């Protein structure tokens, strides 16, 4: 079984003002969904993992979530959606970090 990206999106640290609580709460909910999705994927429940990663992505967009969504689609043999999600991962990674991901060639060859 292929592994998922284990590095979750970087969080926000330190004290949080009351008006900033909503984004932190949304990020925390996304991370909960991500962690549940990773556990589901690791146990072979790719459909459940997919739904949880999609939830995480809708709450707090991240290249990591796109990558894991693509892995789920690939494991479910939905190759068309896997390609779309891998392409979204590559685009969002470059947009977020200003460079191509280290695994770009591996992803393109998947």
pLDDT at residue 71, as a whole number? 97
What does the pLDDT read at residue 109? 82
Q: Are 99 and 91 in contact (CB under 8 A)?
A: no
Q: What is the pLDDT of residue 103?
A: 85
Q: How confident is the model at residue 6 (pLDDT cuts 50, 70, 90)?
A: very low
Positive or negative: CA dihedral 63, 87, 1, 53: positive
Residue-level pLDDT at 27: 92
Q: Give the pLDDT band of residue 15 (cuts 50, 70, 90).
A: very low
Q: What is the pLDDT at residue 4?
A: 59
- CA 11-35-83 angle, to 5 degrees, is 90
Q: Residue 95 is encoded by which pair of tokens?
A: 């947009």
pLDDT band at residue 108 under the 50/70/90 scheme: confident
Residue that is written with structure tokens 């590095």 in the block: 7
Q: How far apart are CA 16 and CA 49, in angstroms?
A: 30
pLDDT in tens, 34-73: 999 999 999 999 999 999 999 999 999 999 999 999 999 9
Domains of the chain with CATH codes: 24-108 (1.25.40.10)
């Amino acid at each position: 079984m292929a592994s998922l990206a284990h590095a979750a999106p970087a969080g926000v640290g330190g004290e949080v003002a009351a008006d900033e609580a909503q984004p932190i709460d949304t990020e925390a909910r996304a991370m909960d969904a991500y962690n549940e999705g990773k556990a589901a994927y690791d146990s072979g429940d790719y459909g459940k993992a997919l739904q949880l990663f999609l939830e995480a992505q809708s709450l707090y967009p991240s290249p990591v979530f796109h990558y894991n969504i693509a892995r789920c689609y690939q494991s479910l043999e939905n190759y068309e959606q896997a390609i779309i999600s891998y392409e979204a991962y590559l685009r969002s990674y470059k947009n977020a970090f200003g460079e191509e991901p280290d695994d770009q060639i591996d992803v393109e060859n998947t």
